[in-house]
Amino acid sequence: MMEEEIEYLIVGQGIAGTMLSHFLLRQNKKIKVIDLFHPNSSSNIAAGVVNPVTGRRMAKSWMIDELLPFAKQVYRELEKELKVSFLFEQPIYRIFSSEDDKKIWDKKKQDAEYFEYLGDWLPQTDDHIESPYGIGIIKNAMWMDVPVLIRAFREKLLQENLLLEDSFDYERLEMDENGFRYGHLRAKYLVFCEGYKAIYNPFFSSIPFTTAKGEHLVVQSEQLSTGRIYNRNTYILPKSPGRYTLGSTFVWDDLSETVSEESRKELLAKWHKMTSADAIIVEEKAGIRPTMKDRRPVVGRHTKWPHMFILNGMGTKGVSLSPYFSWQLIQYIQSGNPLPEEVNPDRFV
Ligand SMILES: Cc1cc2nc3c(=O)[nH]c(=O)nc-3n(C[C@H](O)[C@H](O)[C@H](O)COP(=O)(O)OP(=O)(O)OC[C@H]3O[C@@H](n4cnc5c(N)ncnc54)[C@H](O)[C@@H]3O)c2cc1C
């Protein structure tokens, strides 16, 4: 096969690799993506919720003021370009667990930092929703049908002959000071976006990924009829009339991609804390999140090979983090714009 010169070789087409490819194509860069489709990749399993205010203390997510508007704009552009809908802006109804929750809400609501995110609270909403302490409305939230984006973008890459549907073989990579050779490809830059499978990447083996398996159920309910997203330690995400995604769990250091009996019970118990409605499990899904101990992505350059980069560690927040950090990485590669120290791949040594 004739040698093909490209500028960027990208390994992985989850949401990270997709966003990076999107920006590079918009710049008319010559790219090639290598990805072996995996139905249980984190991006294909993700519930896709972006909740700007999380945890018991109802704290704003890291950098959310910057991440959210950027992500929304980019996803809306991509929806137009790919002619598919995958982004749904809607509030999250946070079911309070105690009187304390309500007090925290009322206090934070007075804080200008939270004006954009915390709305009113209601004593109750839909039939069958259990809310003895009330429900706070989180504004500026959204959910994204990530698999729809991944599929549509994959289709585009295939049509333009930019995707190699194959497993990347690290041993076949050759490098010199000008870049890389991989089979018939000659690339100036190489960016790894492999999700949790980066644990098998020998070039970044010093990065301590802590894999977090996530599981969710798709349940059918005769009694619960709502279009609202509910949250109380877990999410009820309406998908179609009477059908909901319920999740997700956190299981550390388990690389199996099936839902355990224990998790099934845990999720159903959480369902019954939120609602008195019936639920029948119709589907189960599990995938592995690429998570870091400090809950920050890993974005940057290899210490020894200056043309080699990593874009990973999106953890539980791939939807909000991937657009912004893909773009930041491109700015870093092309213009030397510094990346935040918090995402430095060398921070662990
Ligand atoms: C149950 C669950 C629920 C979640 N819910 C949410 C949520 O509500 N909101 C949110 O923002 N995030 C959520 N996430 C997290 C989100 O899914 C991740 O942050 C994000 O998908 C990570 O994307 P990625 O592109 O880094 O990795 P991945 O999605 O894992 O993609 C990596 C790709 O690289 C490919 N690959 C890897 N190695 C190779 C190789 N050697 N050769 C070829 N191809 C390779 C893989 O096959 C895959 O296609 C959830 C995750 C799970 C599991």
Atom of ligand 1 nearest to the CA of 215: 1
Q: Atom 16, ligand 1: which residue's CA is nearest?
A: 318
Average pLDDT, the chain: 97
- In this structure, the answer to whether residues 220 and 194 fall within a common structural domain is no
Q: Over pLDDT 90: what percentage of the chain?
A: 97
Instruction: Indicate the pLDDT class of residue 13, thresholds 50, 70 and 90.
Output: very high
Query: For the segment 47-74, what is each residue's pLDDT rounded down to a tens digit?
Result: 999 999 998 899 999 999 999 999 999 9
- In this structure, the answer to whether residues 314 and 263 fall within a common structural domain is no
- In this structure, the answer to whether residues 216 and 280 fall within a common structural domain is yes
Q: Over pLDDT 70: what percentage of the chain?
A: 100
Q: What is the mean pLDDT of residues 37-43?
A: 95
- In this structure, the answer to whether residues 122 and 162 fall within a common structural domain is no
Cβ < 6 A, ligand 1 pocket: 11-17, 34-36, 38, 41-43, 45-50, 167-168, 193-197, 214-216, 247-248, 287, 289-290, 312, 314-320
Q: Is the pLDDT of residue 2 over 90?
A: no
Q: Is residue 80 part of a domain?
A: no
Residue to mutate, 194, 216, 248, 320, ligand 1, most ligand atoms under 8 Å from C-beta: 194
- In this structure, the answer to whether residues 154 and 189 fall within a common structural domain is yes
Atom of ligand 1 nearest to the CA of 313: 26
Q: Is residue 271 part of a domain?
A: yes
Q: Is residue 61 part of a domain?
A: no
CATH number of the domain where residue 303 is located: 3.50.50.60
What is the whole-number distance in angstroms between the Cα of residue 39 and the centre of ligand 1?
A: 10
- In this structure, the answer to whether residues 340 and 221 fall within a common structural domain is no
Query: For the segment 101-124, what is each residue's pLDDT rounded down to a tens digit?
Result: 999 999 999 999 999 999 999 999
Q: Is residue 57 part of a domain?
A: no
Assessment of whether the complete model's pTM goes beyond 0.95: yes
- In this structure, the answer to whether residues 299 and 285 fall within a common structural domain is no
- In this structure, the answer to whether residues 155 and 284 fall within a common structural domain is no
Query: For the segment 220-253, what is each residue's pLDDT rounded down to a tens digit?
Result: 999 999 999 999 999 999 999 999 999 999 999 8
Domain of residue 258, residue span? 91-140+212-289
Please identify, among 241, 259, 289, the residue that sits at the C-terminal boundary of a domain: 289
- In this structure, the answer to whether residues 235 and 279 fall within a common structural domain is yes
Q: Is residue 38 part of a domain?
A: yes
Three-state SS letters, the chain: CCCEEEEEEEECCCHHHHHHHHHHHHCCCCEEEECCCCCCCHHHHCCCEECCEECCCCEECCCHHHHHHHHHHHHHHHHHHHCCCCEEECCEEEECCCHHHHHHHHHHHCCHHHCCCEEEEECCCCCCECCCCCEEEECCCEEECHHHHHHHHHHHHHHCCCEECCCCCHHHEEEECCEEEECCEEEEEEEECCHHHHHHCHHHCCCCCCCEEEEEEEEECCCCCCCCEEECCCEEEEEECCEEEEECCCEECCCCCCCCHHHHHHHHHHHHHHECCCCEEEEEEEEEECCCCCCCCEEEECCCCCCEEEEECCCCCHHHHHHHHHHHHHHHHHHCCCCCHHHCHHHHC
- In this structure, the answer to whether residues 220 and 277 fall within a common structural domain is yes
Q: Is the pLDDT of residue 1 over 80?
A: no
- In this structure, the answer to whether residues 282 and 242 fall within a common structural domain is yes
Atom of ligand 1 nearest to the CA of 198: 38
- The mean-pLDDT minimum among 1-5, 74-78, 129-133, 179-183 falls in 1-5
Q: Is residue 154 part of a domain?
A: yes
What is the whole-number distance in angstroms between the Cα of residue 261 and the centre of ligand 1?
A: 23
Q: Is residue 272 part of a domain?
A: yes
Q: What is the mean pLDDT of residues 184-192?
A: 98
What is the whole-number distance in angstroms between the Cα of residue 37 and the centre of ligand 1?
A: 11
- In this structure, the answer to whether residues 106 and 203 fall within a common structural domain is no
Domain count along the chain? 2
CATH number of the domain where residue 113 is located: 3.30.9.10
Residue to mutate, 164, 316, 329, ligand 1, most ligand atoms under 8 Å from C-beta: 316
Q: Is residue 127 part of a domain?
A: yes
Please identify, among 289, 307, 323, the residue that sits at the C-terminal boundary of a domain: 289
